[in-house]
Amino acid sequence: MKIALIQMDLQIGEPDYNYEHAGRLMEKAMPGQPELIILPEMWNTGYALEKAEQIADADGQRTREMFSSFAKENRVMVLAGSVLYRDTASGDITNTMLLFDDAGKEVLRYDKMHLFRLMDEDQYLKAGSSFALFDCKGTTFGAMICYDLRFPQLSRRLVKEGAKILINVAQWPTARVDHWRTLLTARAIENQAYMIAVNRCGESRGTAFPGSSMVIDPWGEILLSADDREQICHIEIDLGKVDEIRKKIPVFDDQRLDLYGV
C-alpha cells in the first residue's frame, strides 16, 4: 500500500494561507501515486485557540469542500489530519480529524479525546468520546491525535477492534522529540502494528516543531524517519507483515486479561 505523509509548516491563526498551502502540498504528493494521503494535526489554524471562535472551520464546511473534491478528482483517500472545528449548532469547538475516501465521501470524524493541558486545549475545546477506526483497501486502521499517543490503552483498544495500522497526526514539539520517537516505537512493538506518524515542522510563538514524521513496522523497525524540513514522504508498506509478526510472537493469545483486563 502506497502512503504519502505531508510534513508541513503552517502560519498560526491564518487559515486562508494554510488551506492554500495544504492544497499545494497535496498536489505535489500525487506523482507518487499514493492510495492514502495524511496531513498533521491542526494544520488549518495552529494553536491560536484564543481566536477559535473566529477562525475554526464552521461545521467543517471548508475542509469538507476542499478535501472531498480533491479526493474524488484524484481517486485518493485523504486523512485531513485534524482541524480546529466549530459546531455552529452547539457552539462546541473541537480538535477534529476528518477522512475522505477515494470517491470524496466523508467516512470518519474523530474528535480528540485526550486534551493537552499544556496547550490549553482543556480550556477551549470539547473532548471527544468515540474511537477512530476505518477501512482502507481491506485493512483496518486506527487513528489518534498527538497527545492520544501517551495513553497505551487507546492504541490497544483500536487494535482489539481490528486495527493493523495505527496513525498519529501531531503538533509534537522539539523539546519532547525523544518521547515522540520512543512512544511511537513502543506502540508499534506492543501492538504488533504499523505505526504511521505525521508531525508538523517549523515554529510558532517560540515553540519549535521537529517534523520527525515516522513509519515503524510491527517488529519495531523504523522504515522512514523524516528530518525537520517541510517535505512529502512516500512509502509503500507490506500489509501482510502484521499477520506474520503476530503469528511469530502470539502476544494477543498470551495476554492475561483475566488478571489485568483493559
For the question of residue 50 being annotated catalytic, the response is: no
CA dihedral 47, 53, 58, 62 (to 10 degrees): -50
The set of cell numbers assigned to 4 is: 504519502
Distance of CA 69 to the CA centre of its chain: 20
For the question of residue 137 being annotated catalytic, the response is: no
Contact between 112 and 95 under an 8 Å Cβ cutoff? The reply is yes
Active-site residue among 112, 121, 126, 201? 112
3-state SS, residue 95: strand
Quickly tell me which residue has 492510495 as its cell. Answer: 35
For the question of residue 112 being annotated catalytic, the response is: yes
Q: Alpha-carbon distance 130 to 133, whole Å?
A: 10
Active-site residue among 136, 146, 201, 233? 146
Contacts of 158 by beta carbon, 8 Å cutoff, 6+ apart = 131, 132, 133, 142, 143, 144, 166
Active-site amino acid positions: 41, 112, 146
